[in-house]
Structure 1
Amino acid sequence: MVNARRASIADIDGIMRVEEDWPEYQRATRETMLVRLAKFPEGFWVFEQDGEIIGTLTSCPTRYERSGIKRYKSWDEVTNHGRFPDVDMATANALYLVSGTLRREARGARTYALLVETPVKLAEELGLDYVVAGAKIPGYDAYCRRHGEVDARDYAFLQLNGCLIDPFLEMYRGYGFTVPDRDHIVSDFYPDLPSRNHGAIVVRELKRSGRGDGEPGTR
């Protein structure tokens, strides 16, 4: 059974072992992980199985508005190069999922569900309106090679038998996330060859009452 808990500095060695499952050019450094722990510890989790850390998830508060999506130009810009922007809970209305990793042998539907629902619970506790992530679209390059070139903003919405053809986007959809429109597909968002460096800004709106500024889903 996999359990989630908030990370501490004492977990740093286990955190870095899990980080090795990323390609080397995508790994965070130990220093970066320690900065994340210091800046927003409540949004840094480890996932354990039989007493061993088998996954991590980091997040930070952000401001999301559908009409202001152009501020999400790159993962580096959103996350302050992975070191988290200064936390401003007075203006934040969303929790941004910065990174998440599971060791290959621990991956499965139940574990992924825990990985997603853990930050959703925190966002609800903080009174936020959204959980947002910059998702890879790892099927994009392979699709173009097989079927011919297609705009990434079109690819992200292609379906087969009612399912999105991109496996990552379909997984996110299964957990309540959507790609609101074509502007949420961003070129040069994150270095990932299968995605041709594109990212999809996926959004899960939290169902809360009492929003008071007249625009659905903002604070």
Structure 2
Amino acid sequence: MNIRTASMQDIEEISAIENECFPPEQACTREQFKQRLTYYPEHFWLLEKDGEIISFVDGFCTDEETLTDEMYEKAELHNESGKIQMIFGVNTLPAYRKKGYASLLIRYIIEQSQKQGRKAIILTCKEEKIPFYEHLGFENQGLSSSVHGDVQWYQMIRRL
């Protein structure tokens, strides 16, 4: 197992994984990933097994306490000194799900965020994923204002 940050050389593999994990209306585009890797590569974590990327998580830092749809689209809103680590996507290849890999990666991000002096981690998820995030110490803050991909999302927070 290896956790590392992403680079532009990973973009094709990242895009392919995203398209396996999310339907087109919810998936991040290759161009959006390019922007994210330009603005915050140090907040784009990959989990590799035997040299293959099997899971990744990304998101930027901000002082805002609500994850908005605009944040998905505008990587330039990243503020390295922001006290909140946002998570825009948790992706694990289907063959590796329910084996603890996403939990391992999120725990790593919690640890890194604490070391960086962040106050919290915020993400949005679908209703069925709430228990998964709760077991990692996230609290459900209720329905999000996000309508990304025409889906109902819940905002979750992990205070650090």
Change (3 A) 1:80 1:187: closer
What's 2:154 paired with?
200
CA distance, structure 2, for counterparts of residue 80 and residue 110 of structure 1? 26
What's 1:100 paired with?
90
> What displacement does 1:48 show?
1.1
**What letter matches 1:127 in structure 2?**
G
Whether 1:175 aligns to 2:136 is yes
Change (3 A) 1:188 1:7: closer
Whether 1:28 aligns to 2:28 is yes
Within 5 Å, give how 1:157-176 maps onto structure 2. 167-176=128-137
What's 1:84 paired with?
75
User: Alpha-carbon deviations, 1:76-113, whole Å to 9, x = none?
Assistant: 22x152x42422344x2110001121110011242021
- Bigger Cα Rg: 1
**What letter matches 2:153 in structure 1?**
G
After TM superposition, the structure 1 stretch with the greater mean CA deviation from structure 2, 98-107 or 16-25, is 16-25
CA distance, structure 1, for counterparts of residue 153 and residue 105 of structure 2? 20
Residue 137 of structure 2 aligns to a residue whose secondary structure is: coil
**What letter matches 2:75 in structure 1?**
F
CA distance, structure 2, for counterparts of residue 42 and residue 80 of structure 1? 17
Within 5 Å, give how 1:106-185 maps onto structure 2. 106-137=96-127, 167-180=128-141, 184-185=142-143
> What displacement does 1:198 show?
1.6
What's 2:55 paired with?
55
* Identical columns (%): 26
Report the TM-score, using the length of structure 1 for normalisation. 0.66
Unaligned runs of 5+ in 1: 138-166, 207-219
**What letter matches 2:125 in structure 1?**
A
CA distance, structure 1, for counterparts of residue 108 and residue 125 of structure 2? 17
Instruction: Could you list the structure 1 runs, at least 4 aligned residues long, displaced by more than 4 angstroms after superposition.
Output: none
Query: Which one has the bigger strand percentage?
Result: 2
Report the TM-score, using the length of structure 2 for normalisation. 0.88
Count of aligned residue pairs for this structure pair:
159
What's 1:19 paired with?
18
Aligned residues of 1:4 and 1:114 also touching (Cα < 8 A) = no
CA distance, structure 1, for counterparts of residue 112 and residue 76 of structure 2? 18
**What letter matches 2:2 in structure 1?**
N
CA distance, structure 2, for counterparts of residue 64 and residue 109 of structure 1? 33
